[in-house]
Amino acid sequence: MRVTPAAVSASLLLAVSAGCGASEAVPERAAIAGEGETTYPLVVENCGQEVTYDAAPQRVVSLDQGSTEILLSLGLEDRMVGTASWTDPVRENLAEANAEVPRLADEAPTYEVVLDTDPDFVTASFGRHYLEGGVAERSRFAETGIESYLSPTDCDEGTSINGGGTRTNPLTIEALYREIRELAQIFDVTSRGEALIEELEGRRQAALDGIDASGMSVAFWFADLKTPYIAGGLGSANLLATEVGAVNVFADLDDDWPATTWEAFVDRDPDILVLGDLSRERWPGDQLQEKIDFLQADPVTEDLAAVADERFIALHGAEMNPSIRMIDGLEALAEGLGSFEGTR
């Protein structure tokens, strides 16, 4: 396997390279949505890098819960040698498969810990893992023959959002489906990828059937009591709001999860508060009950109508991140909004 720099492209590339012998050319196949059996070498244009796969990976480390749950959903647990960066328990239907995969760290592992698993492929949902000071830069993995992949949900115009870039285009569900298709083709399980997308899209349509929250405003609070991290207007949580027709009161902010103040929260006065219920304990306020207790006791927030009337909807952190769990989040959001008057 090998990685070479490439110009940013909106589509996947078809390339031809010199093959196994001096006189024999081996065509490289670009990843194409919906194809059957994968033909290698396979070329994928991945967030500004052109990555060539000579064979399906056999020893995989997933650096985020989101990418882990996609791989498990594709039935690839037998090729996984490590996972990391968890915010919540694994999805229930994946628990048995996940139990067979070593957890390298609850947060980001070190480069050395990853190397100890002898991987040939590393995948991530967030580009911060591929920064200097993160796990390791993609070029450093490549130097040791380890391919890397970054979720298209974290890529905008060839730049990683969590790797120092700024999102300029709203996240769409198609970015998630592209990730599933690409990983399925890289691992030569294309039909499993299409089946997973069909299942997710069916659930998405069912969740949206009959819901109309066009008269409702919402705010998504992910974490932190002091300077709350809330959903801006272009990321995954805002996508959930727009799917059901609600208005995110912080939609004018471009960052996926910018920090704000409680005074700003009160000024924008959302009808509904969507609260992150995280199993981790990184900051005070990660858990749902901590959030509710704070809102009801703090003199700045206690008089908010949404707080006084307990108009709360709880979502796991993974359900507000760009992953297959967004569909779980959409189902929970639609059900929660449906319990409030005027949304159906």
**CA distances (Å), 223 to each of 74, 134, 248, 290, in order?**
30, 21, 17, 10
CA distance 199 to 191: 12
CA distance 136 to 43: 22
pLDDT value for 28: 42
Report domain extents, the chain: 2-203, 211-338
**What is the per-residue pLDDT across 43-96, written as a single tens digit (0 to 9) for each?**
999 999 999 999 999 999 999 999 999 999 999 999 999 999 998 999 999 999
Strand partners, 52: 2, 43
Q: Is 292 exposed, middle or buried (0-12, 13-18, 19+ CB in 10 A)?
A: middle
If we measure between CA atoms, which residue out of 229, 216, 195, 235 comes closest to residue 334? 216
pLDDT value for 78: 97
CA distance 100 to 123: 18
pLDDT means per 10 residues, the chain with 344 residues, are 37 32 38 67 94 95 97 98 95 97 96 98 97 95 95 95 93 98 97 98 95 92 95 97 96 94 96 93 86 97 96 95 96 92 51
Taking residue 305's Cβ as centre, other Cβ atoms within 10 Å add up to 10
Q: Do residues 251 and 242 make contact, with C-beta atoms less than 8 angstroms apart?
A: no
Query: Which CATH number is associated with domain 2-203?
Result: 3.40.50.1980
Phi-psi region of 115 (alpha: psi -120 to 50; beta: other; left: phi over 0): alpha
Query: Which CATH number is associated with domain 211-338?
Result: 3.40.50.1980
